[in-house]
Amino acid sequence: MSVLVATPNAPWSYLGHEVYSVSSSPLSSLEDALESQLPAVLLVHGFGASTDHWRHNIPVLSQSHEVHAIDLLGFGRSAKPSTLNYGGDLWKEQVVAYVKERIGRRTVIVGNSLGGYAALAAGADLKSESAGVVLLNAAGYFSDEKLSSAPKDLGGRIRRGIGVGLSRDLMVKWFVYPLIQRLIFENLRRPDVIRKTLKQVYIDSTNVDDALVESIRRPSLDPGAFQVFAKVFQARGPQGKPIDELFQNLQSPLLLLWGDSDPWLRNARAKQDKFRLFAQQASLQFKEVVLNAGHCPHDEVPELVNKEMLIWLQSN
């Protein structure tokens, strides 16, 4: 399998906080890149991941395109300040700023899971500056759904019970709840737990290797990592605008890539149907491809994802 072949970019900050990014290009110079008719490609990871999660995609995509990958604030090698309001709006604005300030040309934005929501929101915000949006098992909600609806799964009910029921008591809210969060966080960042979780998320666990586990564990050791986890843990979804509203504002082509055995997206098949329905209602130029994979098809079946992306990029 390929490994990440990309160069860390020069320092860049957003809202005064350092953001880590990498890039790779077949083009010999910036002048060539600007003259090229091909759009740039920006890769946006999901929850708990980083630029390292695109290890099998960058080497292939960068053979024909200028490719960037970015660590969202709170994740990877980017800063993890406790003062930020982590959510879809923050990450959308970060992606938009990166496209405008660091890429400076029309860009296809690719996102997985939480990063998929950020990619879609950024693409809608960039309007004609967006050359396309690619969503891989994207997170998000629709306007006919309520963020505060009661979860059906056991884990969701426990999380909601802790966050809503117990928080009425100030002692619990100030002392017990943070302790519970800390215990969950410490457990989740254990290498064996990371590996076990990934094997549940990947249908084919061949690519669940030491490098992948370490790429998730290492950022969890950074100062501020727990505070980021606590804030995201309490949030209900990525917040921001609903997906159908973002579709109405999107002016560029859309590619929907689905791992059809996703254990993390509740009612995954129904979610796919809604993405398709609202994309049609928004009269978007879109293509949908369903793959035999889990929540992270770009890392689980990268050959298939790279092939579909290159076909779509060439046709658009």
Other Cβ atoms closer than 10 A to 283: 9
The interaxial angle of helices 191-201 and 210-217, nearest 10 deg, is 110
Kindly report the pTM of this predicted structure.
Answer: 0.88
Cβ contact 164:156 at 8 Å: no
Domain-by-domain residue ranges, the chain?
Answer: 7-146+239-315, 154-234
The values of phi and psi at residue 118, to 5°, are -60, -40
pLDDT given for residue 158 in this prediction: 39
* Residue 206 CB-density burial (10 A; 0-12 exposed, 13-18 middle, 19+ buried): exposed
Quick one: how far is CA 145 from the chain centroid? 21
From the list 86, 62, 61, 64, the residue with the least C-alpha distance to 73 is 86
pLDDT given for residue 316 in this prediction: 83
pLDDT given for residue 195 in this prediction: 96
pLDDT given for residue 154 in this prediction: 44
- How far apart are the C-alpha atoms of 313 and 24, rounded to whole Å? 17
pLDDT given for residue 270 in this prediction: 87
Which residue type is seen at 24? S
Token pair 């879809």: residue: 88
- Give whole-number Cα distances, 216 to 122, 179, 209, 248, in Å: 25, 22, 11, 35
Quick one: how far is CA 209 from the chain centroid? 20
CATH architecture of structural domain 7-146+239-315: 3-Layer(aba) Sandwich (3.40)
pLDDT given for residue 264 in this prediction: 80
How confident is the chain (316 residues) per 10-residue block, as mean pLDDT?
Answer: 74 97 78 71 96 97 95 97 93 98 97 96 97 96 69 45 38 56 85 94 96 96 91 71 96 97 82 95 96 97 98 92
Q: Are strands 7-8 and 21-24 parallel, antiparallel or unpaired?
A: antiparallel
pLDDT given for residue 160 in this prediction: 43
3-state secondary structure the chain: CCCCCCEECCCEEECCEEECEEEECCCCCHHHHHHCCCCEEEEECCCCCCHHHHCCCHHHHCCCCCEEEECCCCCCCCCCCCCCCCCHHHHHHHHHHHHHHHHCCCEEEEEECHHHHHHHHHHHHHHHHEEEEEEECCCCCCCCCCCCCCCCCHHHHHHHHHHHHHHHCHHHHHHHHHHHHHHHHHHHCCHHHHHHHHHHHCCCHHHCCHHHHHHHHHHHHCCCHHHHHHHHHHCCCCCCCCHHHHHHHCCCCEEEEEECCCCCCCCHHHHHHHHHHHHHHCCCCEEEEEECCCCCHHHHCHHHHHHHHHHHHHHC
Supply 40's token pair.
């740039």
